[in-house]
């Protein structure tokens, strides 16, 4: 079913008798069981106030359309959402609703926050077919909940987004990247952590072992960027690592590839992402025994390419974080589960929320459940 209005969406959900596989642009390869329900037809920017740094758009609006409108006003989505298509070999069109439903946040998350931190309001249809806006609708089963935060990262399991309002930010005047060459994982994460603890406002911190590069991005006014890059060079120059500086064009191109994990596009193997404490990153990467790995968020996010079918969670054991299976065949996803199994207390809370918002169990059944 392809809905084109919020009212049509509400009526369809109210009449539904069985599971619904909620879809946006279909770019993530996360098809749930049930009848397909696409919101790609809910398309269009309904309000944009550049002076107030706010935009309202229907959930199926392509991200490219959002970014084009922002670019005309020299503004941007500051949380830098990645495009998963190249990584998973998918097609479709990324949508703004899908970005917020999955809380897709790129390298700049370490400095500005995640997608959910920019989400100001939501409209969605709950499992009864009721249209809910922001939490202002008075009903016992939503009173007291922060609906914006609940919907961000819920992957369509609590309700179907129809419209989102969000904050945007101005584009910086320029950017540059400081590249340190030849560091091992432990030394690189130490450098990234030191840079993040400095007053020099780093907006990206990545270590790519395959390329032998540890990269720090700085953005802002030209004079400020030049000053901060020089200060970082002085701060980090006590070691043996060779340093180089990328200008704005080269920096922008590099970070586009890092954001979308271009190094893992195509080829063999499963792709996992592990969220952890930065200080734990090097040991976890070594324990994983991956074919290749990449650190983002100053070591707090590890991308790993593993041999097909590897149970990475079993190999790592209990960690202070979570491991998500991003790319694998359907059999591996069914056997291992896409998402990290929740702790019993969290699982109970999640089950209670789903029962309140989706009492018939319609939305994306089993998508975020642990493997059997």
Helix (H, G, I), strand (E, B) or coil at 350: helix
What's the CATH code of the domain at 76?
Answer: 3.30.465.10
292 and 153 in a single domain? The answer is no
- The stretches in the chain having pLDDT less than 70 are 28-31, 135-145, 239-240, 370-372
pLDDT of residue 29: 65
188 and 276 in a single domain? The answer is no
Instruction: Please write the tens of the pLDDT for every residue from 199-254.
Output: 999 999 999 999 999 999 999 999 999 999 999 999 998 766 899 999 999 999 99
Helix (H, G, I), strand (E, B) or coil at 251: helix
pLDDT of residue 139: 34
pLDDT of residue 370: 60
Q: What φ, ψ does residue 354 adopt, rounded to 5°?
A: -65, -40
What's the CATH code of the domain at 327?
Answer: 3.30.70
What does each C-alpha distance from 360 to 1, 13, 21, 308, 354 come to in angstroms?
A: 18, 10, 14, 36, 9
95 and 158 in a single domain? The answer is yes
On whether residue 343 sits in a domain, the answer given is no
Q: Examine the fold and report which residue of 259, 293, 318 is the final residue of a domain before the chain moves on.
A: 259
Residue 253 CB neighbour total at 10 angstroms = 11
In degrees, to the nearest 5, what angle opens at C-alpha 212 toward C-alphas 217 and 220?
A: 5
On whether residue 127 sits in a domain, the answer given is yes
Kindly give the interhelix angle for 222-236 and 185-196, rounded to the nearest 10 degrees.
Answer: 130
pLDDT of residue 80: 97
Q: Examine the fold and report which residue of 152, 170, 188 is the final residue of a domain before the chain moves on.
A: 170
Total structural domains within the chain = 3
pLDDT of residue 137: 33
């Amino acid at each position: 079913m392809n809905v084109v209005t919020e009212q049509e969406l509400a009526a369809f959900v109210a009449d539904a008798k069985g599971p619904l596989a909620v879809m946006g642009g279909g770019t993530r390869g996360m098809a749930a069981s049930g009848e397909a329900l696409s919101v790609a037809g809910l398309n269009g920017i309904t309000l944009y106030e550049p002076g107030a740094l706010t935009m309202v758009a229907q959930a199926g609006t392509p991200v490219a359309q959002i970014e084009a409108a922002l670019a005309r006003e020299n503004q941007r989505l500051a949380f830098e959402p990645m495009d998963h298509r190249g990584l998973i070999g998918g097609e479709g069109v990324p949508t703004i609703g899908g970005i917020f439903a999955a809380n897709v946040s790129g390298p700049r998350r370490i400095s500005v926050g995640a997608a959910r931190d920019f989400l100001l309001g939501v409209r969605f249809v709950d499992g009864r077919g009721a249209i809910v806006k922001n939490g202002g609708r008075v009903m016992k089963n939503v009173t007291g909940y922060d609906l914006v935060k609940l919907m961000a990262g819920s992957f369509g399991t609590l309700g179907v987004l129809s419209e989102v309002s969000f904050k945007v930010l101005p584009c910086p005047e320029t950017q540059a990247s400081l590249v340190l060459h030849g560091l091992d994982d432990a030394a690189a994460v130490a450098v990234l952590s030191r840079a993040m603890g400095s007053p020099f406002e780093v907006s990206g911190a990545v270590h790519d072992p395959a390329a032998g590069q540890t990269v720090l991005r700085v953005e802002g006014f030209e004079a400020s960027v030049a000053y901060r890059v020089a200060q970082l060079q002085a701060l980090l120059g006590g070691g043996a690592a060779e340093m180089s500086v990328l200008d704005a064009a080269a920096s922008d191109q590099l970070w586009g590839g890092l954001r979308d994990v271009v190094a893992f596009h195509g080829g063999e193997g499963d792709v996992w992402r592990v969220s952890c404490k930065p200080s734990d990153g090097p040991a976890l990467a070594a324990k994983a025994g991956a074919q290749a790995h990449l650190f983002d968020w100053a070591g707090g996010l590890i991308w790993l390419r593993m041999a097909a079918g590897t149970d990475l969670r079993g190999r790592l054991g209990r960690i202070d974080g979570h491991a998500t299976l991003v790319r694998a065949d359907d059999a591996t996803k069914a056997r291992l589960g896409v998402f990290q199994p929740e702790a019993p207390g969290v699982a109970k809370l999640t089950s209670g929320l789903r029962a309140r918002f989706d009492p018939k169990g319609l939305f994306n059944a089993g998508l975020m459940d642990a493997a059997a």
